[in-house]
Amino acid sequence: MTKEIHHLTVARARPEQVQRLREWFQELEEIINSDKEHHRIGHWLLSTYPRVDGEWERILFGYETLVENACDPTLSHLDFKHEIKAAMDRKSQAEKLLPIIRRMVAYFHRNILNFQYEKMGDYIREIETLISDIDPIPESEIDRA
């Protein structure tokens, strides 16, 4: 039995929506913390809530979605899941190989007709050194690639 995967696209809150909600809560906090203005809260809520109606749900749902999908649930602070960190590390390690590969290609282009392969040993040793620092990719990730 194959498992059916469903994808959900979550609308991203625009920066001005986040700022508007932030300002709304700051204003509410000022009213609540003011000893003399508690009587204004009801009127203020009714008159200002339409500015942020629905935006707070989008912002919170977006936050929850990001945390659930990208953050390490074992930590008390926001940080990427191990799998995401490992993928970013592998990308960084692969980027270190690109200049060497470019030099090898340039070498081949310049010297292929002259059969001058003596410098290839230097390039191969350099690649072997870099590859030895790269963590092996788990089999489960190779299947998804």
User: How do residues 8-18 score in pLDDT, each as one tens digit?
Assistant: 677 778 889 88
Position 77 in a domain: no
Domain that holds residue 118: 82-144
On the question of pLDDT at 62 being above 70, the answer is yes
- Number of domains observed in the structure of the chain: 2
Q: Are residues 65 and 91 in the same domain?
A: no
Q: What is the pLDDT of residues 74-104, one digit of tens each?
A: 988 989 998 988 888 888 887 877 787 777 7
Q: Are residues 46 and 88 in the same domain?
A: no
| Helix intervals (H) in the chain | 15-33, 41-52, 55-70, 82-111, 120-132, 139-144
Q: Are residues 56 and 102 in the same domain?
A: no
Q: What is the pLDDT of residue 81?
A: 92
Q: Are residues 97 and 62 in the same domain?
A: no
